[in-house]
Structure 1
Amino acid sequence: MLSKRTALNPPTEAISQNLYFDKTFNCEAVKIAPGEYYFTNKNMAIVTVLGSCVSACITDIKNGIGGMNHYMLPDSAIHKKDDPSSEMMRYGSYAMEILINEILKNGGRRENLEAKIFGGGNVLHGFNALNIGERNAIFVRKYLMDEGIRITGEDLVESYSRKVYFFPKTAEVFVKKIKLSSNLKLIKREKKYAQHINTKSISGDIELF
């Protein structure tokens, strides 16, 4: 069974190690944070919480291998060079490339890839001029279009954060909308990150719960 352990020399610092048993879906699961990703062909869940960040859930629909990333900015070109949090996986351009490449290296085929995309919420009050969430959403749509990967579902932008459960084996996604007032830790994390910066829709197999 493919997982982080069988990847061909992946950048291990970016692969989530946070495995746990999820009681909501009664299955093995892994949580990913900003700058992390995970891919597998096991019948398990990949879980993350998104504010203005974006995650792409990409699956080879015929071979049942897929994964999820979590990035904070579209591209490093718009980021301060001296920012200590500028690990490459925090940028969409790298996060997308590394996830797709790992899926392909481990048995996936490009012509079978489909994507569902989430996040980009307007959760950073006082930082609206930066349009972080909207920029992330625009980037991921364009990147997938340029790569010829079909988008089969999305839940982007709006004014709420999201908890996303992705099952790569089946390409199923469950999204829980979270009130901003109940997720102050996420907002605080993203506001801190935003201070370092210079400067609907496609339906699909997505269930809200």
Structure 2
Amino acid sequence: MEMHNGSHPLNVGQGEFRVTSDWRLSLSTVLGSCVSVCLLDPVACVAGMNHFLLPHSPYSRVAPDARYGGYSMRMMITTMLVRGATIENMQAKIYGGASTLTVSGDVGERNVEFACEYLDRAGIPLFGGCVGSDLVRRITFIPGDGQVILQSRPVTPANTQRMEPIAPRFAA
């Protein structure tokens, strides 16, 4: 596995969220139309990242599932609060939400809108990110300094399943 700034990468898969106070870890994922929110409380030294597929479950009665933004965001923030973070100190960055051709409309755009609205309602300021367009993104969140390393390529059938490592275009 690739190392960034001395940190050990921990994958955040689809429908997962991770919270850490271990600054030796970094959190990493690959996104298409899905969205990841990176949260950091630099005072409490607690960070989290999620990876959700849709804003809400399409079914009215479904078990709690982190594939959906509503549950994923609530659980990630709650876990961070239990570990000592405060809403007042949290900072957010949003990534993903690529435009894709689907029968149900632009899922990526809906995911981004949901994440922005959720953070706004929660009172957590948005400090950056990279969303929309037609980019497949690989992000690595380094909680120790709040940096997110972004690698991206246009969405094509050849790279939506597997994304080869490329040099970072920029660090956000």
Q: TM-score when scaled to structure 2? A: 0.86
Equivalent residue in structure 2 for 1:148, among 78, 103, 123: 123
- 1:183 maps to amino acid: N
| Maintained 8 Å contact 1:36/1:69 | yes
Change (3 A) 1:184 1:152: closer
Matched, 1:108 2:72: no
Matched, 1:28 2:42: no
Pairing 1:87-98 to 2, within 5 Å after superposition: 88-98=65-75
The 4+ residue runs of structure 1 with deviation greater than 4 A are 80-83
Identify, as 1 or 2, the structure richer in helix: 1
Equivalent residue in structure 2 for 1:71, among 32, 52, 67: 52
| Maintained 8 Å contact 1:163/1:178 | no
| Shift of residue 74, structure 1, vs aligned partner | 0.4
State which structure, 1 or 2, has the greater radius of gyration over its C-alpha atoms: 1
CA deviation string 1:119-171 (max 9, x = no partner): 0001x33x176110000010000000000000001211111110000012321
| Maintained 8 Å contact 1:72/1:91 | yes
Count of residue correspondences: 164
| Maintained 8 Å contact 1:65/1:169 | no
Pairing 1:1-209 to 2, within 5 Å after superposition: 21-23=1-3, 25-43=5-23, 44-76=25-57, 79-80=58-59, 88-122=65-99, 124-125=100-101, 127=102, 130-181=105-156, 182-185=158-161, 207=171
- 2:119 maps to amino acid: L
Q: TM-score when scaled to structure 1? A: 0.71
| Maintained 8 Å contact 2:36/2:49 | yes
Identity of aligned residues (%): 30
| Maintained 8 Å contact 1:56/1:117 | yes
Give the Cα separation in 2 of the matches to 1:138 and 1:111: 22
| Shift of residue 26, structure 1, vs aligned partner | 4.6
Unmatched 5+ stretches in structure 1 = 1-20, 188-205
| Shift of residue 90, structure 1, vs aligned partner | 0.4
Give the Cα separation in 2 of the matches to 1:88 and 1:37: 11
- 1:75 maps to amino acid: H
Identify, as 1 or 2, the structure richer in strand: 2
Give the Cα separation in 2 of the matches to 1:94 and 1:154: 21
Give the Cα separation in 1 of the matches to 2:4 and 2:20: 20
CA deviation string 1:68-94 (max 9, x = no partner): 000000011xx15699xx861000000
Give the Cα separation in 2 of the matches to 1:141 and 1:63: 23
Change (3 A) 1:104 1:93: same
| Shift of residue 63, structure 1, vs aligned partner | 1.8
| Maintained 8 Å contact 1:58/1:66 | yes
| Shift of residue 185, structure 1, vs aligned partner | 1.2
